[in-house]
A and B are shown apart, each in its own frame.
Chain A
Amino acid sequence: MSSIPHDHAADHAADHGHAHDEHAHYPGGIMRWITTTNHKDIGTLYLWFSFIMFLAGGCLALTIRTELFEPGLQIVDPEFFNSLTTLHGLIMIFGAIMPAAVGFANWQVPMMIGAPDMAFARMNNWSFWLLPFAATLLFTSFFVPGGAAAGGWTLYAPLSVQAGMGMDLTIFAIHIMGASSIMGSINIITTILNLRAPGMTLMKMPLFVWTWLITAYLLIAVMPVLAGAVTMLLTDRHFGTSFFNAAGGGDPVMFQHIFWFFGHPEVYIMILPAFGIVSTIIPAFSRKPLFGYASMVYATSSIAILSFLVWAHHMFTVGMPAAGQIFFMYMTMLIAVPTGVKVFNWVATMWKGSMTFETPMLFAIGFIFLFTLGGFTGLVLAITPVDIQLQDTYYVVAHFHYVLVAGSLFAFFGGIYYWLPKWCGRMYNETMGKWHFWLSMIFFNVTFFPMHFLGLAGMPRRVPDYATQFADWNMVASIGAFGFGLSQLLLLYNVLTTIRSGPPAPAKPWEGSDTLEWTLPSPAPYHTFETPPVVE
Chain B
Amino acid sequence: MLASVLGTGVARAAKEYNLQPPVTPIGEQIFDLHIYIMWICVVIFVGVFAVMFYSIFAHRKSKGHQAAQFHENTMVEVVWTIIPFFILLFMAFPATKTILAMKDTTVPDMTIKVTGYQWKWGYDYIDDGFGFVSNLKTPYTQIHNQEPKGEHYLLEVDQPMVVPVGKRVRVLITAGDVIHSWWVPAFGVKQDAIPGFVRDSWFRADKPGIYRGQCAELCGKEHGFMPVVVEVLPADQYAAWADAQKKKATAAADDPAKVWDPKDLIARGEGVYTANCAACHQATGKGVPPAFPPLDGSKIATGPVEAHLDTVLNGVVKNGQSTAMVPWKNTLSPTDIAAVITYERNSWGNHVGDAVQPAQVVAAKK
Show the binding face of A for B, using Cβ within 8 Å: 71-74, 77-79, 82, 145-147, 150-152, 156, 158-159, 161-162, 164, 236-240, 245-247, 251-253, 286-295, 317-319, 321-322, 325-326, 329-330, 333-334, 336-337, 340-341, 343-344, 347-348, 350-357, 365, 368-369, 372-373, 376, 379-380, 383-386, 388-389, 391-393, 453, 456-458, 460, 462-470, 472-473, 512
Contacts and interface: CB of A to CB of B under 8 A. Distances in A.
Nearest to B182: A317
Interface string B17-47: 1111000001001100110011001001100
B144 A72 contact: yes
B362 interface: no
Q: Is the interface of B mostly helix, strand, loop or mixed?
A: mixed
Contacts of A82: 218, 220-221, 223
B195 interface: yes
Nearest to A70: B145
Contact of B216 (A161, A393, A466): A393
A72 B16 contact: no
A291 B72 contact: yes
Contacts of A236: 321
Contact of B152 (A72, A245, A357, A467): A467
Contacts of B72: 291-295
Contact of B96 (A162, A326, A334, A458): A326
Instruction: Sort A-B residue pairs by CB-CB distance and give the 5 closest, nearest first.
Output: A246-B196, A463-B224, A319-B199, A354-B67, A352-B68
Nearest to A293: B71
Interface of B: 12, 15-20, 26, 29-30, 33-34, 37-38, 41, 44-45, 48-49, 51-52, 55-56, 59-62, 65-72, 76-77, 80-81, 84-85, 88, 91-92, 95-96, 98-100, 102-103, 142-145, 149, 151-155, 173, 177-179, 181, 183, 185, 188-192, 194-197, 199-201, 212-225, 288, 290-291, 319-324
Contact of B194 (A252, A372, A469, A472): A252
Contact of B185 (A286, A384, A458): A458
Contacts of B65: 352-355
B99 A336 contact: no
A336 B88 contact: yes
Contacts of A343: 48
Given A325-B99, A383-B95, A393-B216, A252 B145 contact: no
A467 B48 contact: no
A334 B85 CA distance: 7
A158 B195 contact: yes
A453 B19 CA distance: 8
B153 to A, nearest CB: 5
A419 B327 CA distance: 60
B188 A385 contact: yes
Contacts of B60: 354-357
A141 B140 CA distance: 29
A453 B67 CA distance: 41
A348 B19 contact: no
Nearest to B26: A385
A459 to B, nearest CB: 8
B41 A376 contact: yes
30 contacts: A79-B291, A82-B220, A150-B220, A159-B218, A237-B319, A295-B72, A317-B191, A317-B216, A319-B173, A319-B191, A319-B192, A319-B197, A319-B199, A333-B88, A333-B91, A341-B77, A351-B51, A352-B67, A372-B48, A384-B98, A385-B95, A385-B102, A389-B185, A389-B188, A391-B181, A392-B190, A453-B17, A458-B19, A460-B183, A467-B155
A72 to B, nearest CB: 4
Given A347-B51, A462-B224, 12 more contacts: A71-B154, A73-B143, A147-B291, A158-B178, A164-B290, A240-B320, A252-B197, A288-B67, A355-B60, A389-B30, A462-B218, A467-B153
